[in-house]
Amino acid sequence: MTSAWPNLSELLGSAPGAPVGMIGAPLSAGSVTAGRCDLAPAELRTVLRRIGRYDVERRSELATAIYDRGDVALGGLTIEAATGPLRQAVVASVAEHPLTLLVGGNNAVTRPGVLGMAEALGLRLEQVGLITLDAHFDLRDTVAGLGNGNPVRALREDGLPGRNIAQVGLAPFANSAAMHQDALDGGHLVMTADEVRSSGGMAAAERALAHLGHCPAILVDCDIDVIDRAQFPGAPGARPGGIANLDFFAAVRRLAADVRVRVVDLTEWDPPLDPTDLSALTAGRWLAELLAGYEAR
């Protein structure tokens, strides 16, 4: 019997073999701005009972089961020390599920996500793609070690070709000219926040997917600070003038509909920054849009 209020929490369970696997990655070490992104996985699980399963606009109800694989034990670990456990958690999930959700934590979880996806599928980094929905290039140097501001740089140094990277939603006055030029010189697709506003989120997603037409497997990094801060105040890196939440939702749904997308992460959500429930509800809607996209495959 279905409940009177069918909601996303009903789809989250502990039965292996579900089409979607979810990993909690409560990593906060190495953040440019200190915070509590490690609290996000638990907060997401809590808010799911407030997110309905029925899409009134498309007259469809979400039904895809999610296997909650729990949180990776990262307490007190540096990014370098956390990379191995996170990578292996992703390897195990990708081997079992067509789609894996990696819920951070800060943006440093993206690198082990890409490495784990490649390993699980037996692919070289030259064969995998990365799409970032992010206000930032994340191309800070790695001289002082790994941080949440350099996962894309670290992946480039690992051997991920620049032509395998599409970066969507870059914000003005939040990046350096050197990083922008490096991305262009490396072959990244670069779409600014203004370009996303002009084209819409779905068109931006389609352009990113087309750029990675040569990649059989893709990780999508959803750094939540890509959204305008007024619509998502719980992200330390978000700024006024980011993309609209509706464009973010449209992009996420379209990306999840592509069978090549095997891992999607959610990063840089710092729940205590938002004393209201706006950010939590937005993150919950992110999961609903992902499932809707997956069910369209």
Residues 6+ apart with CB under 8 A from 250: 200, 201, 202, 205, 289
For the chain, give the longest Cα–Cα distance. 58
CA angle 219, 198, 192 (to 5 degrees): 50
Give the sheet arrangement for strand 66-71, strand by strand: 12-13, 66-71, 20-25, 99-104, 261-267, 217-223, 128-133, 165-170, 189-192
Hey, what CATH class is 8-295 in?
alpha beta
Which pair of structure tokens corresponds to residue 202? 């779905």
AA letter at 154: A
- What is residue 89's predicted lDDT score, i.e. its pLDDT? 98
DSSP H helices, 9-141, are 40-47, 79-96, 110-121
- What is residue 1's predicted lDDT score, i.e. its pLDDT? 42
Secondary element (H or E) of residue 249: helix 245-256
Q: 10-residue block means of pLDDT along the chain (297 residues)? A: 81 92 92 87 98 96 97 94 98 98 97 98 98 98 94 98 98 97 98 98 98 98 98 96 98 98 98 97 98 98
Domain boundary assignment for the chain? 8-295
Give the SS3 label for residue 60: strand
